[in-house]
Chain A
């Protein structure tokens, strides 16, 4: 007979070994390598102008990306769960494109659009000549931001949509019937339901935005100006000298620290989400 118990131990051993070999050991070796030339060297290598500028730019890009994608994600989730219209299914699928497409292609797509030969370049030029601005997109910070937004935009809406679907529209309808306006309904009725899922989506989006390499790599060529942290690490490593490789590890360890913080946040939020969901399930109260 099938016994669940006899499978338990081998499964635990296999999973633990796999996770250790594939994830934990490589990450630990990053930390160990980053400190291989001592603490002072470590501090020095992450405080060079290039690395500091990369950290600043990464945080800046992440902040904008998360802001834009939160607003977009909420709007898209609301649209897809609260209205029915032609092509709804198509739109829902389109939102998922970044999940299935290679980030490099996303980067190249923006070059095709806004690059010197791109079809949208004349529009940008026209805007610049009318307003007197000097907006550059490709190989500049706006391009980095665009590419990051592109690769991270499904995260927030994907977290919220299932929650909005399972909550249903009854409560919102009831509130509307009593005369509550759209903003009040969102604030008092809908938001409490989605807040943990939203926070979870934001964390996932942040993690992805901080670590994005491929799309940004295609659109960013100036070290110290438009390089995000992953690009800076790559550049340090590619320099190939013994010192610069350790510097690359040191910079990587900063990303690992970010990742760990986000991982903890993610788990706390996941616990909160499940906890709230189980609280909201019917308790068996008898009449």
Chain B
């Protein structure tokens, strides 16, 4: 493991910001610390950087314990939330600062800065001051400044928070490509699940100072292990009384999480679904919201309100219309643990899953088939 945290704890006064944090990151991976605000993700990042000290536990970078090393000797580059560019220095001096502090020879600094200006496509802007740059350009300067001294590890605190929505999407891809290009182990903090899923190789979900789950974006999305992760990721609808949904047995579970992509709503004469019509429930459309590339339907199924997405390519629906509703699966929650529960009628119909693709016709589904 390139970066490893073992039983790390941190308290601020009476507030425990980190409880028994344990995780490891492989070299070259891009990792997201994902969690709501106040979940302790930034504290973890700052402890790795050395901007905060851990109360107990061990923080290792590249096999060395760094708990007592000052930030500058940890080989860490840090991109701050608002970039913290030096406002009285131009782009060139900003990027050169870390090398200048290290007393590198002038010629080498010049070479490295120009190399980075080229890499981040900032050539020609080296004389500009931070207030003369756009949000995206500032982020690129912050990135170049952080990696200029060639750190082992790059830490980014909410790297996209200060940028407007439109540019943010482009920058996500840019940052991902850039980090993979320079092959640097990176950890970034975010509260935006789309950002984490899109950019990271590995996601660590934090909540109330603890780590809830760690895994690939696919695992986090498909197999949430805890109630918190099931509710934090995706677009969850909480259903208390899920026995009302056909094909599910509540047993001793507390409640269930149903995502839009788990819910299929189709008209009586839809031939794609003729095999499973006998297992469908009646649902009444309560509301239709236009979401640009799809519709979001609110459907009342046996007294439970569910949400599903409907492709714009399918036939039009109206409020009050009756639909057939099949729920493929749910996350059933018991003691804060999340269990994936398949629709028992559908699994009985086709235990080996050979004919599944015939009825698993879900347009917005993330894992159809």
Contacts and interface: CB of A to CB of B under 8 A. Distances in A.
User: Are A and B co-members of a single complex?
Assistant: yes
A254 B78 CA distance: 56
A42 to B, nearest CB: 47
Nearest to A282: B131
Q: Which of B101, B145, B167 has the most CB of A within 10 A?
A: B101
A17 interface: no
A176 interface: yes
A153 to B, nearest CB: 28
B84 A170 contact: yes
A228 to B, nearest CB: 39
B98 interface: yes
A280 B166 CA distance: 25
Interface string B65-80: 0000001110010101
A58 B219 CA distance: 77
Contact of B134 (A171, A173, A279, A287): A287
A38 interface: no
Nearest to A284: B134
Contacts of A179: 72-73, 98, 101-102
Contacts of A176: 71-72
Contacts of B86: 171, 174-175, 188-189
A287 B49 contact: no
A283 interface: yes
B131 A283 contact: yes
Overall SS of chain A's interface = helix
A86 interface: no
A170 B72 CA distance: 15
B87 A280 contact: yes
A179 B100 CA distance: 10
A178 B131 contact: no
Interface in A163-195: 170-171, 173-180, 184, 188-189, 192-193
B229 to A, nearest CB: 32
Given A177-B51, A184-B101, A280 B131 contact: yes
B133 interface: yes
A281 B131 CA distance: 7
A48 B71 CA distance: 63
B100 to A, nearest CB: 9
Name, among A178, A179, A282, A286, the residue most crowded by chain B CB atoms within 10 Å (CB to CB).
A178
B36 interface: no
A177 B156 CA distance: 13
A65 to B, nearest CB: 29
A280 B133 CA distance: 12
A167 B78 CA distance: 19
A174 B132 contact: no
A189 B71 CA distance: 18
B11 to A, nearest CB: 16
Contacts of B134: 285-287
A178 B101 contact: yes
Given A180-B97, A287-B135, A174 B84 contact: yes
Interface of B: 49-51, 71-73, 76, 78, 80, 82, 84-89, 97-98, 101-102, 131-137, 145, 149, 164, 166-167
Interface of A: 170-171, 173-180, 184, 188-189, 192-193, 279-283, 285-287
Across the A-B interface, the 9 shortest Cβ-Cβ residue pairs: A179-B72, A170-B84, A192-B88, A178-B98, A287-B134, A174-B84, A285-B134, A287-B136, A287-B167
